[in-house]
């Protein structure tokens, strides 16, 4: 782009995350309050990279037991049987049930690892000061934000299966430890996405224009 | 105490904004209802203007509130197998997890499927009623900030998909009965989407009383000693 793009940061202006109002902090000050909605203002989300990394590493660690440990235990007269998320996907797979099986596979296994990989990529490129593919990167961030909630599907599947299938002594279904880790992955990746500041993607390109100060 | 240094000073040109996704300074164009404005650099939708942006969401929100109450008081799904019959509500799902010792997951399910959707509808109702006053009071803005945070965690549509998958899983060994709440929740998803699509937060922010003014008001009643300076 040949047009010199100016950002609020370069002009010492702060944009409110609550109400969107643009305002000027007192001279030399880095924090003030939004005169319209009283929100505390900063130029960028505070400690965005550190916080996002912390949530992301937590999510990556929980992702392992979430997939290795069983999420449901089915007790019948024949004994108890435990299923992991992947085994649940395989159980659902049938000539008629495969679309649902695919939904669970995507929502529970592919989306969480995809989110972790995408956010790690965004963090690394921001830290390296990358100035390329900015539009694609911000689009990736929006996808992560938009799709993230759908990982919760398996938590709901297991919750309602367990609460409904209580047919003692015939059959009973109870959650298992894997579900706790899986729920943690969903929550931590959502918090990671929320603490990432997409404006950081553009900051390296803007600072190259040397307009600040 | 009110400290004037605490507040940033607003710009004289109120149409200037910074893009929330890339920080680009730009002037928000005047657009007609139905049109939207996008950031030229990162292509995020900055503003979509709606006609009747307070009346239409209010009607939808009242309907959503009624459906929400129904959805949480009738059974959502049930099953019968060799004489046994079982039913559960949305809350029943979370309650079962709690009693089985899975308090953390239970709290998450309760929050995302019951509490957050309820708060979302309740907050929206209060915001819209407050915003219809000639001079919307400050609390309307405060609630609007909470609303946006709560909406992220309100997951009725995700829960419905989960329930459908559970139904099909269980159908292998028992006869499943979809309850009334399932259909009501299905309708509620569309209502909530319609509320989000017809509501214009900018309309509220443009009219709400400013925090800075509200903070200065107590001083207005006092003797005018400082005002002279």
Per-residue DSSP letters for A59-109?
Answer: HHHHHHHHHHS-SEEEEETTEEEEE-HHHHHHHH-STTTHHHHHHHHIIII
For A186, nearest residue in chain B (alpha carbons): B108
**For helices B180-198 and B55-71, what crossing angle results, to 10°?**
160
Q: Give which of A22, A169, A118, A164 is closest to B79, Cα–Cα.
A: A164
A70/A182 Cα distance (integer angstroms): 10
Q: Return per-residue pLDDT of chain B as tens, 229 residues.
A: 456 568 888 888 888 999 999 999 999 988 888 889 999 989 999 998 888 888 999 999 999 999 999 999 999 988 888 777 888 899 999 999 999 999 999 999 999 999 999 999 999 999 999 999 888 898 999 999 999 999 999 999 999 999 999 988 888 878 898 899 999 999 999 999 999 999 999 889 988 888 888 777 665 444 444 443 3
ipTM tops the 0.90 cut: no
**Domains, chain A, with CATH or none:** 1-43 (no CATH), 46-207 (1.20.140)
Q: Taking CA atoms, what residue in A is nearest to B177?
A: A164
User: Is A203 within 8 Å of chain B by CB?
Assistant: yes
Kind and range of the H or E run holding B27? strand B25-27
* Full-model pTM: 0.89
Chain A residues 77-106 with CB within 8 Å of chain B: 88, 91-92, 97, 100, 103-104
Distance CA A146, CA B181 (A): 26
């Amino acid at each position: 782009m040949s047009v010199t793009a100016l950002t609020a940061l370069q002009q010492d202006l702060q944009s409110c995350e609550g109400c969107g109002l643009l305002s000027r902090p007192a001279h030399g000050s880095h924090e003030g309050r939004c005169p319209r909605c009283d929100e505390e203002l900063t130029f960028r989300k505070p400690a965005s990279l550190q916080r996002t990394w912390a949530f992301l590493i937590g999510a990556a660690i929980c992702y392992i037991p979430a997939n290795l440990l069983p999420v449901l235990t089915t007790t019948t007269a024949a004994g108890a049987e435990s299923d992991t998320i992947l085994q649940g996907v395989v159980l659902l797979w049938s000539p008629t049930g495969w679309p649902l099986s695919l939904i669970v596979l995507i929502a529970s296994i592919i989306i969480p690892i995809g989110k972790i990989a995408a956010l790690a990529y965004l963090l690394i490129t921001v830290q390296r000061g990358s100035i390329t593919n900015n539009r694609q990167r911000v689009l990736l961030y929006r996808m992560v934000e938009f799709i993230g909630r759908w990982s919760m599907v398996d938590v709901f599947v297991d919750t309602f299966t367990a609460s409904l299938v209580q047919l003692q002594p015939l059959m009973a279904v109870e959650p298992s430890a894997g579900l706790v880790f899986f729920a943690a992955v969903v929550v931590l990746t959502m918090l990671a996405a929320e603490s990432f500041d997409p404006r950081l993607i553009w900051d390296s390109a803007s600072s190259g224009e040397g307009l600040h100060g | 105490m009110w400290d004037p240094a605490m507040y940033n000073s607003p710009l004289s040109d109120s149409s200037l904004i910074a893009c929330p996704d890339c920080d680009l300074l730009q002037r928000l164009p005047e657009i007609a209802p139905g049109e939207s404005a996008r950031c030229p650099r990162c292509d995020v939708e900055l503003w979509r203007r709606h006609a009747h942006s307070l009346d239409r969401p209010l009607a939808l929100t009242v309907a959503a509130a009624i459906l929400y109450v129904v959805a949480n008081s009738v059974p959502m799904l049930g099953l019968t197998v060799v004489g046994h019959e079982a039913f559960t509500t949305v809350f029943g799902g979370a309650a079962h997890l709690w009693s089985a010792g899975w308090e953390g997951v239970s709290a998450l399910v309760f929050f995302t499927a019951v509490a957050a959707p309820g708060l979302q509808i309740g907050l929206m109702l209060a915001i819209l009623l407050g915003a219809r006053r000639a001079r919307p009071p400050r609390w309307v803005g405060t609630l609007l900030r909470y609303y946006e945070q709560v909406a992220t965690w309100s997951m009725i549509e995700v829960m419905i998909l989960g329930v459908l998958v559970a139904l099909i899983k269980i159908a292998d060994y028992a006869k499943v009965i979809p309850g009334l709440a399932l259909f009501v929740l299905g309708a509620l998803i569309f209502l909530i989407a319609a509320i989000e699509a017809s509501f214009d937060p900018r309309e509220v922010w443009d009219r709400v009383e400013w925090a800075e003014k509200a903070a200065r008001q107590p001083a207005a009643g006092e003797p005018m000693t400082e005002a002279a300076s």
